[in-house]
Amino acid sequence: MPAPTRLAPLLQGIATNCRCPEGLRYRVAATRAIKDPQACAISVAAAQAASQSTGSHVPCSSGASRVRARTLPLTQRIRAVIPATPRQGAASVASTLARNVQYQGRKASRQGSELRRQAILDAAMRIVVRDGVRGVRHRAVATEAGVPLSATTYYFKDIDDLLNDAFAQYVERSAVFMAKLWSNTEEMLRALIARGDGSPEARAQLADEIARLTADYVMHQLQTRRDHLIAEQAFRQEALLNPRLASLVLAHQDILLQGGRQMLEVLGSRDPVQDAQVLTAIIGRMEYQGLLASTQADADREMLGILTRFMQWVLG
């Protein structure tokens, strides 16, 4: 039986019964997936959040019984009915996420309204960078955006909706950026590998080159996207107290992990999934340290040394 057909009962159960904090988002996604077989792979972030649903019931494929959502994580139940397929590329994962980010606030019906809504979200992000998440208030955002106070409350009924959509916009834009980055990175990595002969010396040289390129990436982020990194750190902290933001943070983290996994898989890592977790943790710490203190020559050397040691271990 084709995978979408076998998946239909599960998706129908989600569409009908999902009661997680982001239930509406996942019910809409599941309903869309039922109608479109090509969309049957629900995003990892959505599945993770939906699997935490309380009281959700999903019919089994035979229709003979119903099981509670907590019996088995949703991601595992989806994988159980989808046949094994080649792993989706990191660029494709990021592009898919960018297309499917869901917003909580009121949707704009006209171009002028959308421009105002965008101005409000951009203003909220500037406040997050300057004053932190706690500085985001309707009046402060209205002043920053140069719009009437009534405009912020029209599009966003409360601060949670405003914060959620501000970070949702960040995740969407970041996903577009990362999709291009991963696509270009894979081509570059394959070119570097093709230059070597596979010998231990060649792989050691490759490890040094990858470490240098990764250090350059971190430095470029700190120099050109500093505000983005500050906002990301602020939302990560707020997500500890806000379940709606947590699902977006997980989705954003998944983009980074997928990219790291793909890069290390191309390089021949023995365990690209675990190695990607270590690499993204290293990069995250370096970005955080770079935000705390101005970059210095000693810090640059330390960064390169850590990345070189890691890449030598992975490729050794």
Dist CA 162 CA 165 (whole Å): 5
For residues 282-308, average pLDDT: 87
Dist CA 221 CA 214 (whole Å): 11
- Provide the pLDDT for residue 100: 61
Contact in structure between 262 and 182 (CB atoms under 8 Å): yes
Residue 210 is part of a domain; what is its CATH number? Answer: 1.10.357.10
Give me the phi and psi of 2, to 5 degrees please: -60, 145
Q: Does residue 20 belong to any structural domain of this protein?
A: yes
Residue-number span of the structural domain to which 301 is assigned: 177-315
Q: Residue 212 pairs with which residues in a beta bridge?
A: none
The answer to whether residues 111 and 21 belong to one domain is no
The answer to whether residues 137 and 248 belong to one domain is no
pLDDT of 146-191, one tens digit each? Answer: 999 999 999 998 999 999 999 988 888 888 888 888 888 888 899 9
Structure confidence at residue 294 as a pLDDT band (50, 70, 90): low
Above pLDDT 70, what percent of the chain?
64
Dist CA 279 CA 54 (whole Å): 34
For the ranges 8-22, 47-61, 235-249, 275-289, which has the lowest average pLDDT? 47-61
125: Cβ–Cβ under 8 A, 6 or more apart, which residues? Answer: 166, 169, 170, 227, 231
Q: Does residue 161 belong to any structural domain of this protein?
A: no
pLDDT of 193-223, one tens digit each? Answer: 999 888 999 999 999 999 999 999 999 999 9
Q: Residue 66 pairs with which residues in a beta bridge?
A: 59
For residues 135-140, average pLDDT: 95
Above pLDDT 90, what percent of the chain?
41
Whether residue 22 is predicted with pLDDT greater than 50 in this model: the reply is no
For residues 124-140, average pLDDT: 95
The answer to whether residues 17 and 67 belong to one domain is yes
Question: What predicted TM-score, i.e. pTM, was given to this entire model?
Answer: 0.66
The answer to whether residues 112 and 76 belong to one domain is no
The answer to whether residues 287 and 197 belong to one domain is yes
Helices in the chain by DSSP H: which ranges?
3-17, 23-35, 44-50, 74-81, 90-100, 111-131, 138-145, 149-155, 159-195, 200-224, 226-239, 243-267, 272-292, 297-315
Residue 119 is part of a domain; what is its CATH number? Answer: 1.10.10.60
Contact in structure between 160 and 244 (CB atoms under 8 Å): yes
Structure confidence at residue 98 as a pLDDT band (50, 70, 90): low
For the ranges 19-33, 201-215, 268-282, which has the lowest average pLDDT? 19-33
The answer to whether residues 13 and 74 belong to one domain is yes
pLDDT of 244-263, one tens digit each? Answer: 889 889 888 888 888 899 88
